[in-house]
Structure 1
Amino acid sequence: MEEQNLEAIMGLIMNGGNAKSSAFEAIQAAKTGDFDGADAKLKESDQFLTEAHNSQTSMLTQEAQGNHMTVTLLAVHSQDHIMNAITFRDLAGEVVDIYKKLAADGK
């Protein structure tokens, strides 16, 4: 596997994992009523997702230029990581919103 592809794959795995962790921390913060902290963690998650997207774009650019990558289990795993992170981030945003609404309603 080419070094550039391995770097992009590892970028997806690391940033996807970090994005998911930050999103989970946002839920935990909202659960305790720390909505500023929750919003900061969601923003941090978004930043990690942007970095992951940049890694993915690098891989797609290489493919579009005719530099075909051999699909490996590691490459598939990296895509799985980023898709799970995106889904988890979206759901975390909804959970934080629910906690905010409950707090606003006095419950």
Structure 2
Amino acid sequence: MKEEKKIDLEEMALEIITNVGTARSMYVEAVEAAKTGNFEEAHNLVAEGEKIFVNGHHAHADLVNAKIGVEELQYMFLVMHAEDQLMSAETLKIVCDELIDMLEAKAKQAN
């Protein structure tokens, strides 16, 4: 039973990392699209990334609410990495939104 808890904790952390890592990559792609003037694609990538980010956020909430015993402490570094990825993706999304807005406004002024 305790081994099952460890596996679940590891799986939850990896689910966070996978989802928010994918979202973060989409935010970077969105900025690249905006830099080339493809603002519709940029906004679509941000929206798609945000949906994936929410999955990671839900997995994080499940992890926070999980009862963790002493045996599971060995997985805490993985959990800390997952949380770092979560916060990093959230920050990048904010910066991404701002960059796209700035590039879009600049493109409209140029026309």
Q: TM-score, normalised by structure 1?
A: 0.89
Instruction: Write out aligned runs for 1:9-88 (5 A).
Output: 9-62=13-66, 67-68=67-68, 70=73, 72-88=76-92
Higher helix share: 2
Unpaired runs of at least 5, structure 2: none
What is the Cα deviation at residue 88 of structure 1? 0.5
Give the number of equivalent residue pairs: 103
5+ long unaligned stretches in structure 1: none
Q: Secondary structure at the match of 2:110?
A: coil
Q: Provide the rounded CA distance (Å) in 1 between the counterparts of 2:52 and 2:27.
A: 10
Between the aligned partners of 2:26 and 2:17, the Cα distance in structure 1 is 14
When the two structures are superposed, what TM-score results if normalisation uses the length of structure 2? 0.86
Letter in 2 for 1:99: L
Cα distance in 2 for partners of 1:61, 1:39 equals 33
CA-to-aligned-CA distance 1:52-91 (integer Å, 9 cap, x gap):
01100111222xxxx1252621111111111101000110
Percent identity for Structure 1 against Structure 2:
25
Greater Cα radius of gyration, structure 1 or 2: 2
Give the Cα–Cα distance (whole angstroms) in 2 for the partners of residues 83 and 106 of structure 1.
35
RMSD (CA atoms): 1.4
